[in-house]
Structure formats: structure tokens, C-alpha cells
Amino acid sequence: MDKPDYENLEVIQRNRLAPRTYWLPPTHLLLNGTWDFQYAPTPLEASEYPPKDGSSEEIWSPINVPGHWQLQGHGHPHYTNVQFPFPSNPPYIPIENPTGTYRRHFKVPTEWDSTSQLRLRFDGVDSAYHVWLNGSFVGYSQGSRNAAEFDITGIAKNDSDNELVVRVYQWCKASYIEDQDQWWLSGIFRDVTLLALPGQSRIEDFFVKTNLDENYEHAVLQVDVTLNKPELSSVDLLLILRDSGVEVSSTRKTVDADKANFEIPVSNPKKWTAESPYLYQLEISLQTQGGESIQTIAQNVGFRKVELKDGLITVNGSPILLRGTNRHDHHPIHGRAVPYEFLKQDLLLMKQHNINALRTSHYPGQPWLYDLADELGFWVMDEADLECHGFYDVVTQHVTPAPYLDYEGSKEEFFPKAAQFTSDNPEWRESYLDRMVQMVQRDKNHPCIFSWSLGNESFYGVNHVAMIEYARSIDDRLIHYEGDIKAQETDMYSYMYPDQDRLKRHVEIDGIKDGQWEKPVILCEYAHAMGNGPGGLDDYQDAFRKYKRLQGGFIWEWANHGLLHKDGYYAYGGDFGDQPNDSTFVMDGLCNSEHKPTAGLIELKRVFQPINFKYEDGKVFITNEYDFIGLDHLEAKYAIKAYGGELSLLESGTLEVPSVRPWDTVELTLPADLNKYSDHDEEVFWSLSFTLKESTSWAPASHEVAWFQHKISADRQPSIPVGLPASGSVKVVETRTKVEVSGSDWEVHFDRVRGYVTKWSHGSDLLEVDPVTRAAIYPCFWRAPTDNDKDSAVSVWKEYGVHRMTSQLRSFKVETGADGSGVRIETKTYFAPPVLGWGYDIHTVYHISSKGALSIKLDLNPKGVFPVDVPRVGLNIRLPKSLSQASWFGRGPGESYPDKKHSQAIGIWSSAVDDLEVPYDVPQGNGNRMDTRWVRLVDADGHGIRASRLDAATFNWTGGRLSDQTIEDAKHPCDLVREDATLLNLSPRVAGVGSATCGPGVRDDLLVKVKPESYGFVLESI
């Protein structure tokens, strides 16, 4: 039996036209919209087409194009990261191969020239498809994220209805090399377009190059045009270069061959960079020799030169620093069928958050993406539609890598074996090469593209070398591929998810000879942004500053891939019954599934800001970290604020923005002596904000680009209360099971069986008893895990029972002041998990003042074989639900952690308790706020509590209505059941978040190490 096209390695396409640069003629018709659709479980069970008797009685249902059939009621989405969702036996695919048959009727517009060449263009179909028109076979193509055009001249009817039928197969042989980390979704998911081009002489393709001289000043605009024209005929080509509508240069040439080459000198053109994306307009006009227009094409042109120079990636002679992100096509309802406005909003958000580069992971994007990147300004790494990561699972099945192998060692051990399936298999050469040809030919005229990438996680083999040879044969852009571990053929060393030690080794060792290097280092993926994270962004950025050779990289990744489920939540792997799956690993973005910024993106904006600040002895120094432009487009405003119980603005105004070249440092001229505030009674902070002077294509005027804050008042040694308060009268009532302490209008109760506070009231109740611990205030070493905890830390913590620790009372002592003015209660407890032989001896001293203020001091001493670290150390406090408004003096307004705090400024902030929780798509620990001096929680009348450190040091706190257990148990936000109380945690120490789901964990010095320690808090009623 003959192999079907979708399993035949010798068939990549049938009748597909040669790929070309993307442009649409004025005579085009979008065929998007509602189509007819049939779904079948296998190709053989799909209705026969064309039908033998010329008619069809099959039942059709409507479907939207572009779109995926799994998101429109046919089959279900399936998510895997690495593993294939089908048996690995290339090039064969499962018999169960869902097949969608699409049908649409259209008419050729009557105003089109009847002699035109008619083409059908498909910009994206997953994964392979046959096409028929009016019952005649048109062609076949595969390569889901690559375009295909077919000539339908002579098949299409100009004067009557046309029936277009497309049969799409969910799986094909190419599915083995389209194993990207995303949902498996099928169908016609990008535009379908009918094109009409001149029927005789016409422009088939063109290639625009901007060749700058050695001083990067003047240019020669090179334009190579490919024509289709009858023999023995001559035509004219007219090229006009314009700058904002004003003609810069023009040239005309008579052409009697199928190729024409132009070289047009351009004197000192404005240069294109991601920071100054200046575009000229090129018009290419095909005319008769009599001057009659045959065809006109418009193309934006950016003058720039990308090259390796002195071992660095340079543009126009200057090194660049990539502040980038990886971007998949994703929409929460439409999957990879991303509307233009949604895609544009993605890019606007990137620019607004100081992102200057994107990698089209792991396939070419929609054509619009590159037009927008040219206009807005991005460095784009254009990546071929290629990944076969699943073969790694095949070769490592039942194999445990040797413990001495790190990530790079594991690659060297197993990748060559995995490459033998396709990447290093000559039978797959044309399949690989086709993907490079398609990408380069379509996107070659975009100045934003600085690098071609061969794909992702496809190991390395002879077929990659063929891709490189092809790209170099026609273009001089740089070549990237992480799988070329030693950068033998590619232009840069590329790594994924290194910790700081490994990164240092890469930069200082790989490719270094006699202290010199020939190729730079980039991180094609780093800082895995899954859930509450990524932590440690500042460490990477500091490394980019320190090592000239290290030219930045691309955060993984831009947005979560959640799909809106019928039950109202954003689904991930397994939620549609898909097996096998990789669960929540698809939720790893800087934006949530609605593409709204997460706390991680807000942190990234601050870390990526293009101005670096340094404060020293009352002087402020700034470094311009743009690569090409100064700071003239910005204005600076400063403020000096004092914080205590309330905010006080001491000074504010504007600063003159100095002229400073890229990567130079200058001192700011300040309007006042900042040292004069060093002795201020309250904490005084100086802040500076740089905003846009004028609106741009990506942000309005006054958009903040960078900010800085520094404390300019001196630190003081806090006064620590000692002993009992010396005024007022306190009453103590003791029974066998409890102690009641009261004053004129307040009372505090203790459970002397368990040793904890159970009641505190001042006019109304300020505490509630937790139904599990039977205490209102209780030691805490646990928090709900984050995604970054789950693969490493949480298993160790749970092995040590940190999540199940309970208390045993050892002693309880009451002491009343000599004048009856206060009470001191001292307890000794042992706080430990069941089964295991470790725990904390906790010595707690409570002071209750005559005014009803409650201070708590704890001394912790770990015993036994204890874990290295715990999630946090602190107190859980249960408050009445009526305390629903929070205000605090510390970092805010959002969450902050030791390795994720730079975006949160010190200030006095306020929030409803319900808004303190950070609504991650996948519920997890969240909402910590650092460097807090005090926090208040009050009811609608302003009554409640105020908490601060006993020694006036800063602390962490969280507030909300969700228990740690509820958060941990919930799969989706709809599973969260809020408590009928306000839950407050006060902690002197919390752990960072890291990015350990795929990368380094929390830096060692930012862990909460188990050790003897002391801390305390003061609770006051207000």
C-alpha cells in the first residue's frame, strides 16, 4: 500500500509555489470567516472527496477560520512539554489521526483583471493538509507555522461560485519535529487569502539589503528583484525611496531577464535600531516601457548592519544588550489563532515594560508580528518551526543520568543518541531544510530580525548544518542554535537556565583562548517565569553588566497558555482529560492567560529599566544603559518624602536630564543637599522618576521608564521596651485551663493548656480562634507552596514534616507587675512534626500593657536532625472578617520577596484585604510584602489592630482570607474557598522564590536557614 503523503518522508509538498517575502497585493480577498466542517476520527473515515457521484449528502457543521477545531467542539486540546502524545516510531503516526474537512464557497471579485494569476495562500495550518478547488486537486503542504501558496489559475472560475475544500490531518510525520512546549491544536489557524497577481509580467519576490560603509554612515540600498515575465519582452522597474513621504532617491531600469539588481547610494540615512526604529518607505513599481503601471509593492526599509565584531553582536558597529522574552502564539479562547489587536497589545506591553527583544519561540510568528516589531523597535530572533524534544524522553527511558552529570554533561551524553532519529538522519534533511527556507524567504526584508534560529531542543546533527549553509548562502544575519553546544557553526554560545556559577563558567571559559573570545554568550531561555516568580532577575542583570561578552537573553516566557474552560477557569494539561500531559508547565509566563501583567512582569520592568542608579554620600549617579540613544526623550521628577505614621512630602520638583552617551555615567545636579535630612525624626526617602516627554508609538507621554528610591535619613538604634509597663491597672483571673487579663475596656485570654492567646478585645473582638490550632496567634514555619517550590524544596520540607508541625506545652508562667500595671506571661513549648525527631524549643514571652497592647517575643532553638531551611519563620494570626482594610509602611503596593522586590517601592500603601492576594492562574503561595515597618488592619469604622516589630526592625507580612491548605489543595481559582476571617501572617524572615521549576532555586543567602533566633512583635488596638 502506498504511503499517504502525511507519512511519506519524500513528500513535503505537492504543487506548492516557491516561498517569497510577505506582501499582499491590493487585489486580495480574505477567506476567513465561517466555513463548513466535518470531523472524522481517521483520514479513511473522512467523507470521500471529491465524491464519486459528484454530489455529497454529508452533514456539515459551521466552524470559524482562523481557529482550532478542538476549541470549537471537536476533540479536545492536549498539552505536553517534551513527551510525544503518540508512540514514537517516525515517520509513522497513529491510526487514530483526527481529520477535519473544511469547505468554503467564494467568488472572484468581478473587478479583478480576468487575466490575473490567482493564488490561494495559507499562512498556518496544523499539521498537514490537501487542497481541492471545484473538485480538482490543488496541492499538499505541511509545516504548521509556515505559509503555502498554490496557483489556482485555470481551476478557479472567474464568473461563478467556487468550492474550496481543505482536508487537515492532526498528525503527520512532521509532528515529530513540531514537538514544541504548547498545546497540540489542529486546523486552519491563520489567514486564508485569495490573491490576484499580474498574469504575464509580475514581481515574484524581492530582497532588500542595507549595506552600510565601514564607518556606519553612508549606505548602499541593494534590491534584488525576481520577475516572472514572458520571453522576448522587456519591462521597466522603478524604485523610489521615500522618507516620511519625501523622495530620497529613485532609479529606473529596463529589464529583459527574470532577475534585476539595484544598488542605490543613500547619503547618511537615519539608522534603524530597536531604540530608534526609523523606517524609510521603498516603492517597487513594475511598468511597461511606456510607463503604464503593471504592479506596485511598498516595503518599509530600516538601514542597519548586524555583524559579529570583536566577538560581540553589534548593530551599526555598537554592541547590543538583549532584554528579551520568548513569545509563543497564544490566545485564551482562540489558541494560536491570535487576532492582530491582541498580538499588538502584547508587543505594546513588552515595550512598556522595557523589553527590547523577542524570540519567536519556537516557530515563525504571524506576518504582522514582524511589521509591528519593525515599527515599534525590537531585536527579533526569528526561529524555525522545529523541535523534536520528545526523542530525549525516548533515549532516557528507564535511564537515570549519572549523578555527576550536570545539565551540560547530560546533553553531551544523551543528545547525540536522540539526534539519530531525525536531526542527524539524512532522510529528514529536506524536512529540516524546508523549514529554514520557508522562514528566511518570508521574513528576509525585516530590519528587526538580527538572527535566524534553527529551532529549539532538537539536539544537533547534519540537518542543522544544512540549514546553516542555506541561510549563510543568501543572508548575513547571525545564526543561533542552542543545540550547537560548542558554537561550532553558529555565531554565538547559547544556554538555558544557568545558575550564576554555571553562567560564570560559560562566560569565562567556553570559547576563551588567551583571554580572548570570538563569539558572544546569550541566554536563549532563562528566569523561568512560572507562577510566583521569577526570582533573581537582578542577579542576571548584574551579570550582563559585569561581563561584556554576555549579551543578555530571553526570559521564558511571555504569557501563560491557559485556555478558557467551560467552567470558567483557565485550563492546563489534564483539564481536558488529555493523557499523557505535563500539567501546569504550560502556565509559565510573565503575563497571565489573559495576557495581563503578573507581578513577575512588573519586577522585570524595573530590572530591565535602561537607567542604572547609584547613590553615594548625598550624590546620585546615573548610567545610561541604552545602546544607541541618550536620555533626551525623558524628563525627570524627584520627590523627598518623610514616612512615619503618615506620609509627608518635604520637597518635589524636576531635574534637568543630562546629556549622556550610551553606557556612560554622569552625576546628577541636585536642587538641594540631601544630607540635610540625615537627622530627620522620621524615615526620609528621595525618589526619582524618568518619564517620556512625549507620546510614542508604544506609550503615552508621562509613561514611566525608570525610577529610583533611596533612604537619606540616618538609621537609628531603636528603643526596645524592657520589663513591664509602668502605668495603669490590670486584672488577672486564673483558672486551671485559662488566664484572663483585662483592663478598663480590654481583655486578653490565654489557653494555659496549650499556651496560646485565644482572645483579645478592645471594645470588640480583635482576634479569633483558629479551628485547627485552637489558638488565635500561633508559630508558623510553613506557607502554601509556589510552582517554584514544587519540583525541589517542597518535597524536602514535607519530608521533614514542616507542613504538619504542632505544639506541646512544657511550661506556663504568669507574672504581674508589682503595682498591678501589666502582666508578663512566659511559655515554653516544643513545636515539632509527628513521627520525626526534630523540632523547635520555643520560649515565648507575652507582655500585656495597661492599655491592652500585646507584645510577643519568641526565642527559637532547633533540636534534632532538622532541615536546612524552611519556607518562613513567623506567626499566624486570625482576625475577624470585619477587619477588611489594610494599610502598611513598607514595600508595595504589590507582593515582594527577597529575590523579587525591586519593583516595589517603600511607601505607605492601602488595600482591601480581598485585594492583597495575587490571583495566579494556578493557586499558590503569594502576597508577601517585605521591609514593613508597621501594618494596620481595620474595619469600616477605622477600628482594628496595628502590628510592628518589637525591636522596630522591618518584617514581612501577608493578609487575606485563604488558608495555606486551601491554596495548596486548589487546582484552579474556582476551587478556592475563603475563610470567614482575616488571616494575617507576620514573619521576620521568608524565603525567596527562585525559578526552580526549570532553573536555579533560591540563592543560598536568601533561604530561611534553620538556626537559633529571636524575634518579636507588638500588637496594638486602634
Q: Which residue is listed with cell 470559524?
A: 64
Q: Which of 149, 457, 625, 895 is catalytic?
A: 457
φ, ψ (nearest 5 deg) of residue 52: -65, -40
Long-range contacts of 658-663 (CB under 8 A, 24+ apart): 658/622, 658/631, 659/630, 659/631, 659/632, 660/622, 660/623, 660/624, 660/630, 660/631, 661/624, 661/630, 662/318, 662/624, 662/625, 662/626, 662/627, 662/628, 662/629, 662/630, 663/623, 663/624, 663/625, 663/627
pLDDT beyond 80 at 818: no
Residue 45: the pLDDT is 97
Identify whether 127 is preceded by a cis peptide bond (ω within 30 of 0).
Answer: yes
What's the pLDDT score for residue 327? 99
| For the ranges 50-54, 506-510, 906-910, the one whose mean pLDDT is highest | 906-910
The pLDDT confidence band at residue 58, using thresholds 50, 70 and 90, is confident
Q: Which residues contact 454 (CB under 8 A, 6 or more apart)?
A: 383, 384, 386, 436, 464, 467, 468, 479, 480, 481, 483, 490
> How many angstroms separate the CA atoms of 372 and 259, rounded?
30
**C-alpha cell read off for 21:** 517575502
3-state secondary structure 921-956: CCCCCCCCEEEECEEEEECCCCCEEEEEECCCCCEE
What cell numbers appear for 364 in the block? 515563525
Name the pLDDT band for 412 (thresholds 50, 70, 90).
Answer: confident
pLDDT above 90 coverage of the chain, percent = 91
pLDDT computed for residue 2 by the predictor: 85
Q: What's the pLDDT at 952? A: 83
Q: Sign (positive/negative) of CA torsion 890, 896, 900, 902?
A: negative
Higher model confidence: residue 524 or residue 48? 524
Q: What is the DSSP letter of 506?
A: H
pTM as predicted: 0.96
- 625-675 pLDDT, tens digit per residue, is 999 999 999 999 999 999 988 889 999 999 999 999 999 999 999 888 888
Q: Are 687 and 708 in contact (CB under 8 A)?
A: yes
pLDDT at residue 515, as a whole number: 85
Q: Is the pLDDT of residue 716 over 80?
A: no
pLDDT of residue 233: 81
What residue has cell string 538572527?
451
What percentage of the chain reaches a pLDDT higher than 70? 97
Q: Which residue has the cell 482572645?
A: 759
Cα 732 to Cα 998: distance, rounded to the nearest angstrom: 56
Would the pLDDT of 958 be above 50?
A: yes
Which residue of the set 149, 383, 525, 603 is catalytic?
525
- What single DSSP character describes residue 25? -
pLDDT value of position 817: 78
List the beta strands (DSSP E) in 752-822.
Answer: 756-762, 777-780, 806-816
Summary mean pLDDT of the chain: 96
Task: Give the pLDDT of residue 56.
Answer: 62
> Could you tell me the pLDDT band of residue 211, with boundaries at 50, 70 and 90?
very high
pLDDT at 723: 42
Classify residue 276 by burial, with Cβ atoms within 10 Å: 0-12, 13-18, 19+.
middle
Cβ–Cβ < 8 Å for 513, 526: no
Q: Where are the alpha helices (DSSP H) in 787-844?
A: 787-790, 793-799
Contact 593/562 with Cβ under 8 angstroms?
yes
Instruction: Reply yes or no on whether the pLDDT at 495 is more than 80.
Output: yes
User: What is the per-residue pLDDT for 644?
Assistant: 82
838-865 mean pLDDT: 97
Does the active-site annotation cover 682? no
pLDDT for 734 equals 96
Using the predicted structure, report yes or no on whether residue 727 has a pLDDT greater than 60.
no
Q: Which three cell numbers stand for residue 812?
A: 506556663
Per-residue confidence band for 750, with pLDDT thresholds at 50, 70 and 90: very high
Mean pLDDT of all residues in 693-700: 98
Q: How far apart are CA 807 and CA 754, in angstroms?
A: 8
The count of C-alpha atoms lying within 13 angstroms of the C-alpha of 513, restricted to the half-sphere facing its C-beta, is 4
Give the pLDDT mean for 1006-1018: 98
Count of other CB atoms within 10 angstroms of residue 919: 13
Per residue in 122-179, pLDDT (tens digit) is: 999 999 999 999 999 999 999 999 999 999 999 999 999 999 999 999 999 999 999 9
Report the pLDDT averaged over residues 876-905: 98
The residue whose grid cell reads 512588573 is: 602
* pLDDT class of 448 with cuts at 50, 70, 90: very high
Question: What's the rounded Cα separation, in Å, for the pair 189 and 124?
Answer: 6
Q: Compute the distance between CA of residue 841 and CA of residue 834 in angstroms, rounded to an integer.
A: 15
How would residue 722 be classed by pLDDT, with cut points 50, 70 and 90?
Answer: very low
489 part of the active site: no
Residue 721 has pLDDT above 50, yes or no: no
> Residue 908 has what pLDDT?
97
Q: What are phi and psi of 427, to 5 degrees?
A: -65, -20
Region 222-247: mean pLDDT is: 94
Q: What pLDDT shows up at residue 972? A: 98
Q: Domains for the chain: give ranges and CATH numbers.
A: 5-197 (2.60.120.260), 217-304 (2.60.40.10), 331-606 (3.20.20.80), 610-711 (2.60.40.10), 735-1021 (2.70.98.10)
Does position 321 have pLDDT exceeding 80, yes or no? yes
Q: Please tell me the distance from the alpha carbon of residue 489 to that of residue 467, in angstroms, as a whole number.
A: 11
Residue 791: predicted pLDDT: 74
Residue 94 pLDDT exceeds 70: yes
Q: Does position 717 have pLDDT exceeding 60, yes or no?
A: no
Other CB atoms within 10 A of residue 715 CB: 8
